[in-house]
Amino acid sequence: MAMKKRYITNWNDVPVVVDLAYVAIILGVTPETIRNEIKKGNIPATRVGHMWRILKEDLMAYLGVRKESVIS
């Protein structure tokens, strides 16, 4: 099932753990791009079965944002 594009305006709207598709939507890139960043070690992630999971804190650190920041 395809995920509907939903604009996120606040980090409070982001779940604590997200998958590749969700991160790709937030960053406006493909899931393959996120997968490549994980393989390079740029985004910390954990593999659960066949799916990658990324902590919101790790995504925020990757982007260099503070917890209070708004996504624009």
Q: Is residue 40 part of a domain?
A: yes
Can you give the residue range of the structural domain that contains 37?
15-63
CATH number of the domain residue 42 falls in: 1.10.10.10
Domain contains 26:
yes
Could you give the C-alpha distances from 46 to 1, 35, 65, 66, 68, in angstroms and in order? 22, 11, 21, 22, 25
- Of the pLDDT bands very low, low, confident and very high (cuts 50, 70, 90), residue 11 is confident
Examine residue 8 and state whether it is found in any structural domain, yes or no: no
Q: Flag whether pLDDT at 1 surpasses 80.
A: no
Q: Using pLDDT thresholds of 50, 70 and 90, give the confidence band for residue 62.
A: very high
- Provide the strand spans (E) within the chain: 17-19, 46-48, 51-55
Q: Note the pLDDT tens digit of each residue in 18-43.
A: 999 999 998 999 999 999 999 999 99
25 in any annotated domain: yes
Instruction: Report d(CA 56, CA 15) in Å as an integer.
Output: 7
Residue 51 maps to a domain: yes
Q: Is the pLDDT score of 48 beyond 60?
A: yes
Number of domains into which the chain is organized: 1
Does 6 reside within a domain? Answer: no
